[in-house]
Amino acid sequence: MKKIILVAMMVALACTSTFAKAKKSSKKAKSSVRIAMVTDSGDITDQSFNQTTYQACKDYAEANGLDFQYYKPAGDSTADRVASIDAAYQDGYNVIVLPGFLFGEAIVKVAKDYDDAKFIGLDIGEGDLGGQAVPANVFCAVYAEELPGFFAGYAAVKEGYRHLGFLGGMAVPAVVRFGYGFVQGANKAAEELGVANDVTVEYVYGGQFYGDQTITATMDGWYKNRGVEVVFACGGGIWTSACEAAAKVGGKVIGVDTDQTALINNYGEGMCVTSAMKGLSATVEAVLDAIKNDGWANFSGKVSSLGLVSGTNLHVNFVGLPTETWCMKNFTVDNYKTLVSEVYSKKITVSNAIDKAPETSVKVNYYQSIK
């Protein structure tokens, strides 16, 4: 499976990467791979982006007999993140994994100083780097979040839900792609079923990547007063507020980034409908494997957008829905496989535009950010 994932990664990179000129290092290269991971504004218990990245790094290091340590910045600023990267480098770690767009500015600041280290940036696009060329010791991966968002919205309507909600964290590109993809998927399924007039989507950003009483209160209003049946909670730990509200009325929740079935179902049996996933673990494993086996040249100085690399082999794709914990009845795994094939072949197109909301036949109510 590791080889399959790595091959898939190479295919994605060949199609979507951008290149930067390598700079000759003035420092002596370290003799072994030592892995560090720095958290962004969350921590390794966020049960989402940071935790998934941490676990992937830790598992890889343990499986390959490599040193690993994680660092948590003292505060939520670029200076704090740079300080943690500095600490990791000074402690002798030469492969540093940085999850989240918040590291964009930090990478630009440190990469040129530590040119004998390698940096893996997850969810960091060219725009996050401030228009700077990608240094030769940096690889960044972004994801086609609109695709798993589309799959989740499509599945929810096909399963029979007619009143949906999208609760995003902050309106950053990755979250917006998830949300607009979700809306497109719900709209596509509703049009196919001839029920566009019966489907409504409530849409809001929380203004933060964690749940709290204020956001839970908004979700209470959606479930109790507006009749929302299922909410796609997308953004760090904000899913807890959706779950807390859903638990009071027997509502449903869709997870994000990883398969959150077990976490969401802790709030109520059968609460989780599905999860819109992106392959953070697969990305980390593929790049670390390349570094370990002298294959860094395939990643050096590149930004790659990772999405579907197969229309038939779901396990090599970097985005999708989890089939191992499938619980939907009306929308089956076979239906999902057909949908993936049609999206991969471009029979169905999903826009990744984030400059304006998608045009839809279904009703979408957009609200101001909660915070």
pLDDT digits (tens, 9 = 90+) for 146-167: 999 999 999 999 999 999 999 9
Question: DSSP characters for 112-153?
Answer: TT-TTSEEEEES--GGGGTTPPPPTTEEEEEE-THHHHHHHH
Q: Could you report the per-residue pLDDT of 259-300, keeping only the tens digit for each?
A: 999 999 999 999 999 999 998 888 999 999 999 999 999 999
pLDDT of residue 30 exceeding 60: no
Q: How far is CA 164 from CA 217, 242, 246, 291, 365, in A?
A: 17, 12, 12, 43, 10
Percent of the chain with pLDDT over 70: 92
Residues 6 or more apart in contact with residue 44 via CB below 8 angstroms: 50, 51, 54, 70, 72
Provide the whole-model pTM. Answer: 0.82
Residue 24: the pLDDT is: 32
Residues 6 or more apart in contact with residue 90 via CB below 8 angstroms: none
3-class SS at 352?
Answer: coil
Q: Could you report the per-residue pLDDT of 212-270, keeping only the tens digit for each?
A: 999 999 999 999 999 999 999 998 889 999 999 999 999 999 999 889 999 999 999 99
